Structure 1
Amino acid sequence: MRFVMPQKVKFKHCDPAGIVFYPRYFEMINDCVEAFFDDALNCPFETLHEDGGVPTAEISVQFTAPSRHGDHLELALICTRIGRSSLGITTEATCEGERRFLATSTLVLTDAHGKSTPWPDDLRQLIEMRIVKDAA
């Protein structure tokens, strides 16, 4: 099950040539992850980060086409696997059906000391319902 977040490319995302400066895509990916936890899992980051967090442990991105100031992107997040404390996701950005990037990431649930910790049962169940096999 895909989680979709719209993202208009704003001036702040662009370099002087008017295209998205690639580090801004990482901010968009994180915004999508945060919205996913808040909207799809009913687990807002401000609550989750009171005594832990979900840092990105690994990320790989294929940039396939430039995005320009004013473009309306659709970021689609798909959960691909869940481990004891990890979560595999893909995030694809498209604009009018054209892929702009595809990212694969691993998030890890951590406690207040930065040590990995198992997903709580209720959160695990919500995530497991969203797992898509052979994503991307």
Structure 2
Amino acid sequence: MAFEFPQKVLFKHCDPAGIVFFPRYFEMINDCVEAFFDQGLGVPFHDLHRVSAVPTAQIKTQFPAPSRHGDHLLFQLDITKIGRSSADYSMTARCGNETRLITSATLVHVDANGRPTAWPDQIRNKLQTFRGDTS
């Protein structure tokens, strides 16, 4: 089951030509991840980050087509792998039937000192429900 996050492309996301300036996509990706933890896992960042964090350890992104001011994007996030303290995800953003962004990344659960630490069982179990077909 994929987590879905709608995002309208706003003026603030665009360069003077009216297309999304690529660093703004990374803000949208992070917004999707934050919404995923809040709405999908029931663990809002403002609670989680009091005792731990989930920084991005690596990310790989492709931009197959531009997005323009006013476009309505649908981000879809699937968990592809769950490790002891890490989780890999894949994410796409589409406008209608056109893919605008493809990304994969690794999140690492860290303690208050920034050291990798095992996912709490509550989070691990919920991550499993968003695990996409990896075959």
Q: Considering the TM-score relative to the shorter chain, is it more than 0.5?
A: yes
Aligned to 2:63: 63
Structure 2: 5+ residue stretches without partners: none
> Is 1:38 paired with 2:38?
yes
TM-score by length of 1: 0.97
Deviations 1:17-64 (A, max 9, x none): 100000000000000000000001000000000011100000000110
Q: Distance in 2 between matches of 1:28 and 1:132?
A: 21
Superposition map of 1:30-109 within 5 A: 30-109=30-109
Superposition map of 1:15-34 within 5 A: 15-34=15-34
Aligned to 1:115: 115
Aligned to 2:6: 6
User: SS at 1:92's partner residue?
Assistant: strand
Q: Aligned-pair RMSD on alpha carbons?
A: 0.9
Q: Distance in 2 between matches of 1:120 and 1:95?
A: 35
Q: Tell me how many residue pairs correspond in the alignment.
A: 135
Deviations 1:71-127 (A, max 9, x none): 000000111110000000011000011000100000000111110000011111111
Deviation (angstroms), 1:134? 2.4
Q: Distance in 2 between matches of 1:13 and 1:54?
A: 24
Q: What is the letter of the counterpart of residue 31 of structure 1?
A: D
Deviation (angstroms), 1:129? 2.1
Q: What is the letter of the counterpart of residue 102 of structure 2?
A: L
Aligned to 2:128: 128
Q: Distance in 2 between matches of 1:71 and 1:57?
A: 29
Structure 1: 5+ residue stretches without partners: none
Q: What is the letter of the counterpart of residue 118 of structure 1?
A: A
Q: Distance in 2 between matches of 1:122 and 1:95?
A: 33
